[in-house]
A = this chain, B = another copy of it.
């Protein structure tokens, strides 16, 4: 059996990969960052679904035993009726479950990209758990470029977060879903602006728990022999991606980097000798 595939539009999903690695240290992981087409969060559901399908098909060529869609925008177009021939895990349901488990007042906020917010996936998942939950959403399109600019500690970023959270602060929520893999990078500022009484939900931890449950229940096979590799593919070439990915992955290290051309069948060199 091959590795667990993890994909994201860019570097943000590395936070999910890190949580998975911490939970399953002996497992092999193959990460695909679709950096040539990022971001997904501003694109139409139709286009994002096309990208999702291509990425899953590409990863399947490495005999992945499962695919974790770390990207919220791509997870938002995952449909339970569509089968990929391999188990595909999105971050939405685990995030909604974690928020539902933590809330005491039943008032939950959701931050996400434009695509995720417009799709209402978190709202639907939460209302499915309990139709009486109160939900409020806010799209934060500038947080991704701010994080990628490296301005996470700049006062301008705080100002922008204050502006985005203005309405949400009026709504007395006690739980806030960070519905984008980039947002944990500015978690502390969000916590400060919202106040300590609001619990932040990071989907990275939630998805790792979800997989652990499925493994415990026998839904997903887990055979850790020869394991522990982390291989990273990206559709674009960039030193910046390597730099940020290594930083986010710390203290774990990445075994190999390669460029992925989604138009071509990969050579599968990575797992030949396993």
- A: which residues have CB within 8 A of B? 35-38, 42-44, 46-47, 141-142, 144-146, 148-149, 151, 156, 159-160, 163, 235-238
Closest-CB distance, A65 to chain B (whole angstroms): 29
Contact B149 A46 (CB under 8 A): no
Closest approach, in angstroms, between the C-beta of A12 and any C-beta of chain B?
Answer: 14
What are 30 A-B residue pairs whose CB atoms fall within 8 Å in the complex? Answer: A35-B43, A36-B37, A36-B43, A36-B47, A37-B37, A38-B42, A42-B148, A43-B236, A43-B238, A44-B237, A44-B238, A46-B237, A47-B235, A47-B236, A47-B237, A141-B145, A141-B148, A141-B149, A142-B142, A142-B145, A142-B146, A142-B149, A142-B151, A144-B145, A145-B145, A156-B156, A156-B159, A156-B160, A156-B163, A159-B159
A258 to B241, CA, bound (A): 34
Given contacts A44-B238, A142-B146, A156-B156, 11 further A-B contacts (CB under 8 A): A36-B43, A38-B42, A42-B148, A43-B236, A43-B238, A47-B235, A142-B142, A142-B151, A156-B160, A156-B163, A159-B159
Chain B residue, CB-CB nearest to A140: B149
Cα-based distance from A208 to B19 in the complex (angstroms): 53
Q: How far is the CA of A42 from the CA of B36 in the complex (A)?
A: 9
The minimal Cβ–Cβ distance linking A261 to chain B, given in whole angstroms, is 9
CB-CB under 8 A from A163, the residues of chain B are: 156
Question: Which chain B positions have C-beta within 8 A of A46?
Answer: 237
Distance to closest chain B CB from A182 (angstroms): 12
> Distance in Å from the Cβ of A243 to the closest Cβ of chain B?
14
| Separation of A149 and B141 alpha carbons in the complex (Å) | 7
- Chain B nearest Cβ from A51, distance in angstroms: 8
Which B residues touch A35, using CB under 8 A? 43
Q: In the assembled complex, how far is the CB of residue A244 from the closest CB belonging to chain B, in whole angstroms?
A: 12
User: Could you tell me the distance in whole angstroms from the C-beta of A115 to the nearest C-beta in chain B?
Assistant: 10
Report which residue of A37, A145, A238 has the largest number of chain B beta carbons within 10 angstroms of its beta carbon: A145
Q: Which residues of B contact A149 (CB under 8 A)?
A: 141-142
Find the residue from A38, A149, A163, A238 having the highest chain B CB count within 10 A.
A149
In the assembly, what is the distance between CA of A235 and CA of B50, in Å?
12
For A159, list chain B residues within 8 Å (CB).
Answer: 156, 159
Expressed in whole angstroms, the minimum distance between the Cβ of A58 and any Cβ of chain B is 15
Give bound CA distance, A159 to B163, whole Å: 14
**Considering residues A47, A146, A159, which has the most beta carbons from chain B within 10 angstroms of its beta carbon?**
A47
A146 and B163 alpha carbons, distance in the complex (Å): 14
Complex Cα spacing A36 to B34, Å: 13
Task: Report A245 CB to chain B, min CB distance, Å.
Answer: 15
